[in-house]
Amino acid sequence: MKQKTVKCSLCKANNLFASVFLTFFLSLSAAQGQEVISAAGNHHESDDKSISWTLGETVIETFKADENIHTQGFHQPVITVVSIDEIDLPGYNITAFPNPAKRYVTLNVEAQKYENMSFMLYDVNGNLIKQGRIYDKNTDVSFEGLKPAVYFIRIIEANKNLTTIKIIKD
């Protein structure tokens, strides 16, 4: 007995709709970046503070396998820095205070010479905020106009990273 193939115009329409929908959805997700499906939410920002919130996220679960952890959800409760470069070089003692900072941080650099030393201030996303030269033992780095957040100061001598210091701005 031979099977008959029936061409269904509704099936073709459903396949076409699925293809168009999938293409449209993928193009949106590629252009949008982070996105959340929730009942409500908003983002508010002032000069020195910001707040984001969502209500009713549909997927928020944490999975653990061995040492790997995957947390779902748009708003993550904690950002953890895994490592900060630190090279133990004899003849250098580098500290930063006060930490947490309000208006400025003083870099205390004890070294034999300062001629090729500089600092670079980065935000938590790795964007360079400011940079400058280190001329003597104490150098002030202004945090005026910066939002309260975590920042990183990298101390460099002749294109060699000496240390990176995590600074919290109140």
* pLDDT tens string 52-80: 777 766 666 677 777 676 666 666 555 44
Instruction: Classify residue 141 as exposed, middle or buried by CB count within 10 Å of its CB (0-12, 13-18, 19+).
Output: buried
Is pLDDT of 153 > 80?
yes
Residue with tokens 């790997």: 68
For domain 93-168, give the fold. Answer: Immunoglobulin-like (2.60.40)
Rg (CA), the chain: 26
The tens digit of pLDDT for each residue in 73-109 reads 666 555 444 445 555 667 788 889 998 999 999 999 9
Numbered ranges of CATH 2.60.40.10 in the chain: 93-168
pTM of the complete model = 0.51
